A = this chain, B = another copy of it.
Amino acid sequence: MNYRFLIQYDGSRYSGWQKQGNTQKTIQGKIESVLEKMTGTPVELQASGRTDAGVHAYGQVANAHFKTELSFEEIRDYLNRYLPEDIAVLEVVSAHPRFHSRLNASAKTYRYRIRTSPVKDVFSRKYACSMAGPFDADRMRRAAALLTGTHDFTSFCGNRRMKKSAVRTIYDIHIEETKDELVMWFTGDGFLQNMVRILAGTLAETGLGKRTPESMTDILEAKNRDAAGITMPAHGLALMQADYEKKI
C-alpha cells in the first residue's frame, strides 16, 4: 500500500531531510530506518520538499510503499515510539497508488521568523533568527507584491550551477508583525534551493531600508544570485504545509 505521512520535526540536530550516505544524520534516514525495522524490508520515503540542515517542519508530507498488518494508528504509534524525540509522525493515511508527495504537491507554505526585539528570548532561540530592526513592514509588503506571481527565480537560487528551469510561481507572501517578531509566510508551487531564505533576506534588507521595493524587478531580471540579498540562517525557517490537488 502507498502510505501518506504528516510529519513534524525540530531540524536543529539534523543535516536536513535528504539521506546522504551513511554518516550524516537526516530526517529521511531516521524515519526510513524505523520503517525498515517495522516491515523487515528497506523502505524509501519521498517528502514534499527536501528541507535544508537546521530547517524545521510542522507539516511535512511524505509517502512510502510497503506492506504491513498494522493499522494506521499502530503505524503512527510504532514510529513515534522508535523515532528520536525531535521527530514525530502526526498522521498516517492511505494514498492513491500513484501519489507522490513531491511531484504531486500543488503548493507548499514556509514560514520565516525574525526576532526583532533587542532582548533575548530563550524559548524561541532555536526557531527564530535575531536581527536588529526597525523594519518597515509596508516597504516589505510592496517588495513582496513584486515577487509574487510566476518568475524566473535564478537570482534567488542558492545553487549557482542549476541547469533546470528556475521558473516558479509564488501564490502569496504574507508579512506579520508582532511586538517582538517579524514573521514572513511564503506559499508557492515549489521553491529552489535556499530560495525562501534568500527571499526572506532580501525582504529583510528592504525592510531595513537597504533596498527599495521597486528594485525587486531588477533583481529578478538580473538572473544572478549576487543581485539578491543575504541567505537567512536556517533555524528561522519552517515548512508549515504541503497541499495537493484533490484528484490524487
**A residues at B contact (CB < 8 Å):** 8-10, 58, 76-77, 80, 85-91, 118-123, 125, 127
Contacts and interface: CB of A to CB of B under 8 A. Distances in A.
A159 to B, nearest CB: 29
Given A85-B125, A86-B125, A120 B10 contact: no
Given A86-B125, A125-B86, A119 B76 contact: yes
- Interface residue SS majority, chain A: mixed
A10 B80 contact: no
A122 B121 CA distance: 19
Contacts of A89: 120
Contacts of A119: 76, 80, 88, 90-91
B76 A122 contact: no
Contacts of A10: 122-123
Q: Which of A8, A77, A85, A123 has the most CB of B within 10 A?
A: A123
Contacts of A80: 119-120
Nearest to A80: B120
26 contacts: A8-B121, A8-B122, A8-B123, A9-B122, A10-B122, A10-B123, A58-B123, A76-B119, A77-B118, A80-B119, A80-B120, A85-B120, A85-B122, A85-B125, A86-B122, A86-B125, A87-B122, A88-B119, A88-B120, A88-B121, A88-B122, A89-B120, A90-B119, A90-B120, A91-B119, A123-B127
A4 to B, nearest CB: 16
A40 B9 CA distance: 43
Contacts of A87: 122
Contacts of A122: 8-10, 85-88
Contacts of A77: 118
A125 B56 CA distance: 15
A175 to B, nearest CB: 23
